[in-house]
Chain A
């Protein structure tokens, strides 16, 4: 690169950088905006760090914020009309929604002024809530929840990375495989009554269904196309088409309404030292962590894992050393898709199950695998943890709607600076 070009490109970077900083640095909104606002409190005590979500009548997300230290929140809305305000949580230990009230409030904004919305909460034994926990404690909690999100993103990402490793395909439909898992699990729970203690059965079936989906995609679509010598770029475009097909099938048959698992409605927090999380989060962290551990063992210690890595490194060499490449690829699809399904179910547990969840997590997954290095399962784990953790923890300082920016910025920088990712291997030169 010539000197002048370097100069120009650093200038452009500067401009782009400033552009990126703009949303962060610009002033907060002016006062005369149309907003919905409120203070989350129980009795006279305010509750910080609770997430509030506003959706419009079409269920499109308008905005989400986390309450400040004073328990206050405010979300601008585009115009008059009906909005649903949801208290996403988490509520501190001992606090819950009052009997007969809900965590969702529908408001009708009829005039040009901000509308206040409150939730009816109650403390368990009428004991006043203690003062706001210190900053470090809230940061710690946010970090633990970042860890949880990181584990989930890792879980969802491994399949994409493995499939890329053995076939070279960047599968845009992967995120819909994640959503598929969540939707299947929700459907199972609501139709079979496998709730509460029986819920693990739901997870198991969803994982199996995910594996089946992977089998179907490889057997029915990608396997035959690969054997027709279609290039990976063409296959990538095919996978984009497939992603839209799946996403909107889910919309039609699942509906636009976000739903939550019955076994895990809003739960009050459970303390563990200074850490306070909803009970289900411990469950999620435990399951995800164990699964990742098992995946690691499977890849390192089993014959299947060895052949997966061998095919990933060099398909021709693997083939000549007696590995059935097509069979290995099939297993990677089944395995990766099953993991995506599990990840989806878990994400559905922490948040909501909705048709858009695939679209929402797609770029997080891409960011995770590029950070870790496309094609390496361990890279996806590390990348997923890092991306999930960074984006979630960033909400401690940044607006909620900017958390994706962190992930995307990491992804762009990695692609530009070190495309092979932190754990990837440099492509061999001719």
Chain B
């Protein structure tokens, strides 16, 4: 029986697809967003449940600026305006709410993220945000025109063609965005590493431990939290921008609260408060998810799992279930994740 199962499984495809995703753009963007969240939650102890608000701010800020053709519609200015939008979001979350208790901050951030998403989706903003259809407009999308073109086509130094082999074969566009994505991950990680080894980072960690102690030692806790929120938020917004370049469009469906929790899972899996945590977390996360999905798919297709239990078009839901299980079980049994320090990982922010 078991031999029979192995005969049905395409092992090469199983590992190939999983590996492909774990080094792909998606993994890079999730790692990038997790680097931002790591500064918020891992180091500063801010319970940010609105990661997606920063990603949306970056992506929409960039896309709106570009599609509206403001200031000549330069893509670099568009990216800058995406980052600026993220700073505004960080300030508008931070200034009023950083004094709140941790769980209240969590609720406020998730609510602000939803406000942003619903506003973008509103039909009244159709001319600006594309409403439910996103940007660029349907006509442009049908004509294959996107804000991503400048970056992925015009400025692409890689010649047309496919590179790599086996399941790890990428076209020049994907490869280029992958390079951009992982470079940004490296840069952001380096930045966080540099910050956290400085006295600045020491204050940030102290705030995670005990705000009042930091205050009693003369540290302006509020200002440090705001700085953390802005820096982490801008990093997360870069993730949103890279993802937008990868997909070629933005729409509100990409920014539902579940994306926030994907990123939380990535961070907890890798290990909060560690430099490598977000990167290892994201790669492992996508490997496990795609591996399981593909395994299930093959088992369903070959009749090993009867239709009554799982239909093949339900497999996409398995991803979410896996994510839920991972998040909960990690929290219970391994809060420090794969590479985090056990001593630093237990959450007891108040």
**A–B direct touch in complex (beta carbons closer than 8 A):** yes
| Interface set of A (CB-CB < 8 Å, partner B) | 5, 8-9, 12-13, 15-16, 19-20, 22-30, 33-34, 60, 62-63, 76, 78-79, 170, 225, 230-234, 236-249, 251-252, 359, 363, 366-367, 370, 399, 401-402, 404-405, 408-409, 411-412, 415-416, 419
User: Do the beta carbons of B331 and A234 come within 8 Å of each other?
Assistant: yes
Chain B residues with CB under 8 Å of A237's CB are 264, 268, 327-328, 331, 347
Q: Which of A16, A237, A245, A412 has the most CB of B within 10 A?
A: A237
In the assembled complex, which residues on chain A have CB atoms less than 8 Å from the CB atom of B314?
251-252
Residue in A241, A370, A401 whose beta carbon sits within 8 Å of that of B118 in the complex: A401
Residues of A within 8 A of B127 (CB): 26-27, 29-30
Q: How far is the CB of B44 from chain A (nearest CB, A)?
A: 14
B289 beta carbon closer than 8 Å to chain A: no
Q: Are B347 and A401 in contact (CB under 8 A)?
A: no
* 12 A-B contacts (beta carbon < 8 Å): A13-B95, A13-B96, A29-B124, A234-B332, A234-B335, A248-B324, A370-B104, A401-B118, A401-B123, A412-B112, A415-B104, A419-B104
With a cutoff of 8 Å between Cβ atoms, the chain A residues found around residue B104 in the complex are 370, 415, 419
Query: Shortest CB–CB separation between residue A135 and chain B, in angstroms?
Result: 22
Question: Are the CB atoms of B125 and A78 closer together than 8 Å?
Answer: no
Is the CB–CB distance between B95 and A401 below 8 Å? no
> Using Cβ atoms and an 8 Å threshold, which residues of chain A touch B121?
401
Which residues 294-344 in B have Cβ within 8 Å of A in the complex? 310, 314, 317-318, 320-321, 323-329, 331-332, 335
Cβ of B184 within 8 Å of any chain A Cβ, yes or no, is no
Q: Note all chain A residues with C-beta closer than 8 A to B348.
A: 231, 233
Looking at A60, A76, A252, which has the most chain B CB atoms within 10 Å of its CB?
A252
B31-39, B131-139, B188-196 - the one binding chain A = B131-139
| Residue in B111, B119, B323 whose CB lies within 8 Å of A19 | B119
Does A9 contact B328, Cβ atoms closer than 8 Å? Answer: no
Specify the main secondary structure of chain A where it touches its partner: helix
Inter-chain contacts of B115 with A (CB < 8 A): 20, 405, 408-409, 412
Closest to A413 in B: B96
User: Which of A238, A240, A363 is within 8 Å of B111, CB to CB?
Assistant: A363
A231 contacts across to B, CB distance below 8 A? 346-348
Asked if B119 and A23 sit within 8 Å, CB to CB, the answer is: yes
Given contacts A23-B122, A26-B124, A416-B97, contact A236 B106 (CB under 8 A): yes
Contact B124 A28 (CB under 8 A): yes
Kindly list 10 other residue pairs between chains A and B, CB separation below 8 angstroms, not including A23-B125, A78-B132, A244-B261: A8-B95, A23-B122, A63-B132, A76-B126, A236-B106, A238-B327, A241-B323, A241-B326, A412-B108, A415-B100
**Is A29 touching B126 in the complex (CB atoms < 8 A)?**
yes
Given contacts A29-B126, A399-B122, A399-B124, contact A243 B324 (CB under 8 A): yes
For window 76-112 of chain B, which residues contact chain A by CB distance below 8 Å? 88, 91-92, 95-97, 100-104, 106-108, 110-112
B107 touches A411 (CB 8 A): yes
Query: Would you call B17 an interface residue if the criterion is a C-beta within 8 Å of the partner chain's C-beta atoms?
Result: no
**In the bound complex, CA of A246 to CA of B320 (Å):** 10
Give bound CA distance, A416 to B107, whole Å: 11
Given A9-B95, A363-B114, A401-B122: A78 in contact with B317 (beta carbons within 8 A): no
A100 vs B55: C-alpha distance in the bound complex, in angstroms? 49
Q: Within 8 Å of chain A (Cβ to Cβ): is B180?
A: no
Q: Is the CB of A62 within 8 A of B132?
A: yes
Q: How near does chain A come to B305, taking the closest CB pair, in angstroms?
A: 12
Residues of A within 8 Å of B328, CB to CB, are 237-242, 245
* Cross-chain contact B123 with A240 (CB below 8 angstroms): no
Q: Which of A24, A79, A225, A232 contacts B124 (CB 8 A)?
A: A24
B278 to chain A, nearest CB (A): 17
B128 on interface, CB distance cutoff 8 Å = yes
A408 to nearest B CB, angstroms?
5
Expressed in whole angstroms, the Cα–Cα distance for A244 and B331 within the complex equals: 15
- Give bound CA distance, A359 to B258, whole Å: 10
A33 touches B107 (CB 8 A): no
Q: Which chain A residues border B125 with CB–CB below 8 Å?
A: 22-23, 26
Shortest beta-carbon distance from B181 to chain A in Å: 25
Does B323 contact A244, Cβ atoms closer than 8 Å?
A: yes
State how many angstroms separate the Cβ of B333 from the closest Cβ of chain A: 10
Q: Please give me the residue from chain B that is nearest to A247 by CB atom.
A: B320
